[in-house]
C-alpha cells in the first residue's frame, strides 16, 4: 500500500508529439482514482508512465516516498490489468498467477497460499488448471485480476479492463472491482473512456482532455460543478446542453457568460417558462423520455417523465441554481 504522486508530469514522444502536459495528481493510500477522457486524451499514456512502460519525459512520479522515474516496471511494486487481459496463452491459469511470484523468488508455500486465496476471492478455483483460451471473457477478466491480487502490490493499475466485455457483464464486473478494492484497500488507478464506469467506481475522478487535467474531484463534485464546458459535456448522460448565452437572452443572471450549460434533467415544463423548445424528435427510454428540439437555432435535449403530454412546442423553466456559466474562450467555469 502506498500513495502515488504525479508532480508536473509530461510526455513528449521522440517525434515531438505531446501526449501529456503538466499533470499534478496526489493519490492517497487506498484511494480509487479514475482517469477519464475521450480517446487520445493521454489517460492511457499517463497510466503507462506510472507503470513504467512509457518513459517519463517531464516531471516526477512517486510511489510511496520513492521517485520511480528511472525504476524498472518490475521494481515499482505495482500490478496492472490490461484491456486485452494479456494472459500468457501457453500457461495454465495457475501458472499465470504464479509467474510474477516465481520471478520474485517467493517460496513455494507462500505462492500456494496466495494463489489459493486469490482463487477463493475471485471464484476461479475450478479453472486453475485450464488454459486461458478455454475461459470466457468474464473468467479471463477474473484471472487477470487474480494475477494482480496475488502479487499484493502497493497499487493496482487498470487499463480499460472492462471494455472487451459485453454490456451486462461489464456492469457486474464493475461492481465486483469496486467491492474488491474496498475490501483490499489497495491504491488503484483506473483508466476508462466510459463516464458511467468512471462515476460509479471512483473515489475521485480525474477528467483529462488533450493531455491536460480539466478537473479533479469526487464524482458528485464533478457532476454538480464541472470546471469547464468540456467536463460539463463529458460527464453526465445524456450530455449537458451547452448553448450560447445570446440564444436565451431572457434567462436571468447570465450577463457576461459566453456559454450557458443546463442539464437535460434540470429543464422542466412550465406554462410561463422563459425557454421555448420546438420539438424535433423523441426517444423513449421506458421510465423517462428524451425530448430533442431547438431553442432558436440551438439543439437542446430535455429529460421528461414518459407520461407527460407532448405539444409541438414546449415552454420550459430552469431553477437558477441549475444554470452553469462558462467563458466563451476556453470554456472555463465562471461561478
Partner 1 sequence: MKRTIFSNQLLPWLLLAPQLAITFIFFIWPAMQAVWQSFLREDAFGIRSTFVGLDNYARLWGSAEYMNSMQVTLIFSVSVTLLSMGFSLLLAVAVDRTLRSSRLYTTLLVWPYAVAPAVAGILWWFIFNPTIGILPYMLDQIGYDWNHISNPNQAMLLVVIASAWKQISYNFLFFVAGLQSIPASLREAAAIDGAGPVKRFFTITFPLLSPTTFFLMVVNIVYAMFETFAVIDSTTEGGPAQATNILVYKVYFDGFVGQNMGSSGAQSVILMLIVIVLTVIQFRWVEKKVAY
- What does the binding site for partner 1 look like in residue numbers (CB under 8 A)? 51-53, 72-74, 78-80, 82-84, 86, 88-90, 99-100, 103-104, 131, 133, 147, 151
The Cα–Cα gap between 216 and 213 comes to: 7
Whichever of 43 and 263 has its CB closer to partner 1, that residue is 43
Q: How far is the CB of 267 from partner 1 (least distance, A)?
A: 44
* 109 Cβ neighbours under 8 A, 6+ residues apart: none
Whichever of 53 and 196 has its CB closer to partner 1, that residue is 53
Whichever of 71 and 247 has its CB closer to partner 1, that residue is 71
Whichever of 88 and 278 has its CB closer to partner 1, that residue is 88
Q: How far is the CB of 153 from partner 1 (least distance, A)?
A: 9
Whichever of 52 and 331 has its CB closer to partner 1, that residue is 52
Question: What cell numbers appear for 330 in the block?
Answer: 476556453
Q: How far is the CB of 184 from partner 1 (least distance, A)?
A: 18
Give the single-character DSSP code of 125: G
Q: How far is the CB of 73 from partner 1 (least distance, A)?
A: 5
The Cα–Cα gap between 321 and 117 comes to: 50
- Residue 278, strand partner residues: 294, 313
* 330 Cβ neighbours under 8 A, 6+ residues apart: 228
The Cα–Cα gap between 9 and 69 comes to: 10
Q: 10 Å Cβ neighbour count for 160?
A: 19
Whichever of 47 and 318 has its CB closer to partner 1, that residue is 47
Q: How far is the CB of 49 from partner 1 (least distance, A)?
A: 13
The Cα–Cα gap between 172 and 277 comes to: 38
Closest by Cα among 158, 189, 229 to 23? 189
Q: How far is the CB of 176 from partner 1 (least distance, A)?
A: 21
Amino acid at each position: 500500500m502506498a500513495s502515488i504522486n504525479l508532480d508536473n508530469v509530461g510526455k513528449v514522444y521522440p517525434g515531438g508529439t505531446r501526449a501529456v502536459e503538466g499533470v499534478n495528481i496526489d493519490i492517497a493510500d487506498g484511494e480509487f482514482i479514475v482517469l477519464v477522457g475521450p480517446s487520445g486524451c493521454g489517460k492511457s499514456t499517463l497510466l503507462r508512465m506510472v507503470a513504467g512502460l512509457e518513459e517519463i519525459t517531464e516531471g516526477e512520479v512517486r510511489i510511496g516516498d520513492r521517485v520511480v522515474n528511472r525504476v524498472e516496471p518490475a521494481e515499482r511494486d505495482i500490478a496492472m490489468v490490461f484491456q486485452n487481459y494479456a494472459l500468457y496463452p501457453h500457461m495454465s491459469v495457475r501458472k499465470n498467477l504464479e509467474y510474477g511470484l516465481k520471478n520474485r523468488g517467493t517460496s513455494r508455500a507462500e505462492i500456494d497460499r496466495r494463489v489459493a486465496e486469490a482463487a477463493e476471492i475471485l471464484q476461479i478455483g475450478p479453472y486453475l488448471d485450464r488454459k486461458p483460451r478455454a475461459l470466457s471473457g468474464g473468467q479471463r477478466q477474473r484471472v487477470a485480476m487474480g494475477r494482480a491480487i496475488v502479487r499484493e502490490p502497493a497499487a493496482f493499475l487498470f487499463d480499460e479492463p472492462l471494455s472487451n466485455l459485453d454490456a451486462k457483464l461489464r456492469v457486474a464486473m464493475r461492481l465486483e472491482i469496486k467491492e474488491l478494492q474496498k475490501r483490499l484497500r489497495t491504491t488503484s488507478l483506473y483508466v476508462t473512456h466510459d463516464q458511467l464506469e468512471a462515476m460509479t467506481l471512483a473515489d475521485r475522478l480525474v477528467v483529462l482532455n488533450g493531455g491536460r487535467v480539466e478537473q479533479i474531484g469526487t464524482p458528485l463534485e464533478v457532476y454538480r460543478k464541472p470546471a469547464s464546458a468540456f467536463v460539463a459535456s463529458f460527464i453526465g448522460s445524456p450530455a449537458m446542453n451547452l448553448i450560447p448565452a445570446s440564444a436565451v437572452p431572457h434567462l436571468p443572471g447570465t450577463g457576461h457568460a459566453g456559454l450557458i450549460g443546463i442539464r437535460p434533467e434540470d429543464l422542466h415544463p412550465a406554462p410561463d417558462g422563459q425557454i421555448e423548445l420546438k420539438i424535433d424528435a423523441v426517444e423513449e427510454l421506458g421510465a423517462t423520455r428524451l425530448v430533442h428540439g431547438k431553442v432558436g437555432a440551438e439543439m437542446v435535449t430535455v429529460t421528461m417523465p414518459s407520461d407527460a403530454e407532448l405539444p409541438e412546442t414546449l415552454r420550459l423553466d430552469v431553477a437558477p441554481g441549475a444554470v452553469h456559466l462558462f467563458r466563451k474562450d476556453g470554456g472555463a467555469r465562471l461561478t
